[in-house]
Amino acid sequence: MDAKLVNPFIDALVAVMPQMGFDVPKRTKMSVKNQTCKSLGVSIIVGFTKGLRGNVVYNMSADAAKFVASKMMMGMPVAELDEMAQSALSEMSNMLTANAATNLAAMGYTVDISTPSLTVGQDFQIKISSENYLVVDMDLGGQIMELNIAVQV
Amino acid sequence: MERIKVLIVDDSRVSCAMLAGMMAKTNFEVCGMASNAADAVLKYQTLRPMAVTMDMNLPDVDGIECSRRIREIDPDARIVMISAMKDAGLIQRGREVGITSFLQKPVSPYELIDALSCMVSDDVKKNSGIRDLYIQSFAKVLRQSLFSLVGVHSEVETKRAETSFLDIASGIAVIIGLTGSPMGRAIVYMDQDTMYGMARAILMKNDDAPMTSEEAGDVIEEAANIIVGRCASVVNDLKDVDMRISPPGTIVGKNIRIANFKITSYFLEAQTRFGSVYMNVGFAEGE
């Protein structure tokens, strides 16, 4: 897939996260994978269709997820990933993907997004593509959020 | 339950009787029958039905012209076109006069009731009753698809989900996004034994044929893609909407919990000889 298609997703993170009180996220790593993606503990998948078809997975460790949820809930301590914290993370992925969709539209790709599905577990794998897909690590102030982006051609 | 009046326009007495028979056991009530366009317009004016079933071939003018005349009297008239041929040209012409629902003969009772129900609901997105109907269609598609994929008969049970999550002890879950209207997602999932059993059956392999978990997963992913794709097509046929499906995201592992918030979801369970195949379908709330 075309590497330039990750930019709308990265730009979304950079635009949206600071609005919720995060430092500006930094890209720390980018790679191409063709294997099944191993969940880091919490994975939120959002599908999109129309001008482009694909999936984006926001993948993070339980600790990173708690950090993000806490920040989103105005610094409220999040000791465990309860329903409220999970709901906050779902909301975040929805905002990020909607923002990415707007960025994609500016590139000439109109996309519709699905509702997010948040998956938690100790040991599971996610397959979003049988082809190559792109993986970007974003540093959110010490915690890493991994973006897995697959687009069908 | 309130009876919903329907006018049948068809020049064949057999077709009229069949349609009336299908409606007899529902809350739709045939308030009149017309065998030509002139009679249809007259009866529409006097009976003021909630919905009309319109045959394409009438002795005086065709069903589209007849629909146009009816919508001249009542621009909100809800008409379902029933024709032997259902091609793009006909649908195009039908849409131009304001018909949103098209069925092909022979019409099954199920399709007819679905189409009528969808039409008489003013706002499909806000009406949970309509979503229940979608789910009934999904259940039917699931049953038919399992039959055509693996030749097994199954019983499908549906119920509205009480929780916002589903747990999988060990197995596979294929998540497919639904975009457009209504927006949501479908998850087809099953335990490991069912996955292998079904994958072997789909590939027509013996029960003890070797198969890696990756191979089995790929087969189930494709099966789920087919099932959910068919479900979306049914919804698009029932109502003039554009529901699309995203590519599948497939999760394999142990002790997985999948959560969705702000959606209303339904559980479908198809019992097969391989084990239960589950489908959870959710639509976004407050769209």
Cβ neighbours of A81 in B, within 8 Å: none
Q: Which residues contact B182 (CB under 8 A, 6 or more apart)?
A: B124, B125, B131, B134, B241, B243, B283, B284, B287
> B110-136, pLDDT tens digit by residue?
788 878 877 876 544 444 556 666 787
- Across A79-83, B104-108, B187-191, the highest mean pLDDT is recorded for B187-191
Structural domain A3-152, CATH architecture = 3-Layer(aba) Sandwich (3.40)
Residues B144, B111, single domain; the answer is no
Among candidates B177, B255, B256 on the partner chain, residue whose Cβ is nearest the Cβ of A114: B177
Residues B197, B276, single domain; the answer is yes
Question: Chain B: which residues have CB within 8 Å of chain A?
Answer: 164, 173, 175-180, 183-185, 187, 217-218, 221, 244-247, 249-263, 282, 284
Report the distance separating Cα B172 and Cα B178, nearest Å. Answer: 19
Residue whose tokens read 């002890």 = B169
Q: Which of B103, B120, B137 is the last residue of a domain?
A: B120
Taking chain A (153 residues) in runs of 10, the rounded mean pLDDT of each run is 90 94 94 90 96 96 96 90 93 95 94 95 91 94 95 83
Interface predicted TM-score (ipTM) of this complex, two decimals: 0.91
DSSP per-residue letters across A60-125: EEHHHHHHHHHHHTTT---SS--HHHHHHHHHHHHHHHHHHHHHHHHTT--EEE---EEEE-SEEE
Among candidates A43, A115, A129 on the partner chain, residue whose Cβ is nearest the Cβ of B260: A115
As a whole-number percent, the residues of chain B with pLDDT over 90 amount to: 52
- Domain that includes residue B62, residue range: 4-120
Residues B163, B28, single domain; the answer is no
- Is the Cβ pair A117, B179 closer than 8 Å? no
Per-residue confidence at B79, pLDDT binned at 50, 70, 90?
A: very high
- pLDDT recorded at residue B126: 43
**CATH label of the domain that carries residue B102:** 3.40.50.2300
Report the distance separating Cα B104 and Cα B55, nearest Å. Answer: 10
- pLDDT recorded at residue A58: 98
Residues B23, B135, single domain; the answer is no
Residues B105, B136, single domain; the answer is no
Residues B94, B187, single domain; the answer is no
Residues B98, B204, single domain; the answer is no
Residues B190, B170, single domain; the answer is yes
**CATH label of the domain that carries residue B220:** 3.40.1550.10
Residues B134, B93, single domain; the answer is no
| Cα-Cα end-to-end distance for chain B | 27
Residues B164, B115, single domain; the answer is no
Burial A17-41 (b: 16+ CB within 10 A, else e): beeeebeebeeeeeeeeeebbebbb
Average pLDDT, integer, range B21-36: 87
Q: Where are the domains of chain A?
A: 3-152
Domain count, chain B: 2
